[in-house]
Amino acid sequence: MIMDGKELSRKIREEIRTEVKSYMIKPCLAVIQIGDDPASNVYVASKEKACNEAGIYFKHIKYSEDTREKEIINKIVEMNNDEYVNGILLQLPIPEKYNSERIINYIARNKDVDGLTDINVGKLLNNKKCLVSCTPQGIMELMKHYQIDLEGKNVVIVGRSNLVGKPLISLFLNHNATVSICHSKTVNLKSYTLNADILVVAVGKKYIITEDMIKKDAIVIDVGINRENNMIYGDVDFEKVKEKASYITPVPGGVGPMTVAMLLRNVNECYKKMNTSK
Ligand code: NAP
């Protein structure tokens, strides 16, 4: 069965749009971009479009690559104190000369819509309520929607980035799954993937997962986005693997749209928290 992230995200976005319509003041998401990376330009534009459709005000702060880190941090501190800014996100990747970890940790924890500050990462690890990174949250939402029972399942995650792989460890663990995480130094990747009841792949290499690497009826979640000749491919050889998997996400139309929907949800949740705690 195909897990339709596009349709589920459409429903979630519609719910958020309806809720936002009832607010006197629009929620606001601020996205900080440093440099002019073409892929980042595309991602920022799609976030802007999604915000516009949901009725969320989008503030795009774009810095040139010669901006001093201090100036960016000062802007974050200013927006932390701005009651009309509800979510702040640093568009990654940023040029190597900047310390992304340091910059991210200046974002107030209650506006950290990417869930990347040390405080939100730590809370997630301890299974406490917090802002959770959008892609992993979108994957869990798909699991919930398709009523996948996670308890006792062997979950194998390929890719250990802060944005995707690492938060997923906690999320699956908190649902009593048994979690293995693989990366570029893993020896014999196939011996792990073949054991997976649920396989999540977030590597960024076209078709790194082939049909012989999964067991029959596995659930396969493909996070990868690989561009080639104006086409987008996942990390999983979808056409062949779909014959063997019980559930599988397509690329595009699987995890990607869920990520955007979860970003809007995080902004809306931040807004509600800020406006009820006054
Ligand atoms: P990343 O930071 O580059 O991490 C890639 C991970 O893959 C690393 O942990 C790396 O291991 C591992 N890896 C590389 N080669 C491997 C191999 N041969 N075998 C096993 N593991 C290997 O990437 P990311 O930000 O997590 O993104 C991963 C992919 O997902 C990209 O295609 C990205 O565009 C996509 N993505 C999609 C969404 C969405 O919404 N759909 C959101 C975020 C990312 P090491 O740690 O050892 O280097």
CA distances from 207 to 62, 69, 110, 170, 211 (A): 34, 38, 38, 26, 10
How many CB atoms within 10 Å of residue 99?
Answer: 11
Q: Of these residues, 33, 111, 114, 137, which one is catalytic?
A: 114
Q: Which of 223, 226, 259 to mutate to test the pocket of ligand 1 (most atoms within 8 A of CB)?
A: 223
- Across all residues in the chain, what is the average pLDDT? 97
| pLDDT attached to residue 227 | 93
3-state DSSP call for residue 17?
A: helix
Between the two ends of the chain, the Cα-to-Cα distance in Å is: 46
Question: What average pLDDT does this structure show over 181-210?
Answer: 98
Centre of ligand 1 to C-alpha 83, Å, is 35
Percent of the chain with pLDDT over 70: 99
Centre of ligand 1 to C-alpha 271, Å, is 31
Cα separation, 269 vs 86, in Å, equals: 9
Question: What average pLDDT does this structure show over 102-130?
Answer: 98
Within 8 A by CB and 6+ apart from 225, the residues are: 204, 232, 234, 251, 252, 256
Cα separation, 165 vs 68, in Å, equals: 31
pLDDT digits (tens, 9 = 90+) for 130-147: 999 999 999 999 999 999
CA nearest 87: which of 62, 63, 123, 61?
61
Its sign, for the CA torsion 150, 151, 153, 155, is positive
pLDDT digits (tens, 9 = 90+) for 29-79: 999 999 999 999 999 999 999 999 999 999 999 999 999 999 999 999 999
pTM for the whole structure: 0.97
Cα separation, 45 vs 182, in Å, equals: 32
Q: How far is CA 207 from the centre of its chain?
A: 21
Cα separation, 123 vs 26, in Å, equals: 28
Residue having the nearest C-alpha atom to atom 40 of ligand 1: 256
| pLDDT attached to residue 22 | 97
Q: Which of 6, 47, 96, 183 to mutate to test the pocket of ligand 1 (most atoms within 8 A of CB)?
A: 183
Q: Are 207 and 158 in contact (CB under 8 A)?
A: no
| pLDDT attached to residue 84 | 97
Q: Are 157 and 136 in contact (CB under 8 A)?
A: no
pLDDT exceeds 90 at position 278: no
pLDDT exceeds 70 at position 277: no
Centre of ligand 1 to C-alpha 159, Å, is 5
- The answer to whether 129 is a known catalytic residue is no
Q: Tokens representing 102?
A: 């340091």
Question: Which contacts of 61-67 are long-range, i.e. CB under 8 A and separated by 24 or more positions?
Answer: 61/30, 61/31, 61/32, 61/33, 62/33, 62/34, 63/32, 63/33, 63/34, 63/35, 64/35, 64/36, 65/34, 65/35, 65/36, 65/95, 65/97, 67/34
Residue having the nearest C-alpha atom to atom 17 of ligand 1: 184
Percent of the chain with pLDDT over 90: 98
- The answer to whether 47 is a known catalytic residue is yes
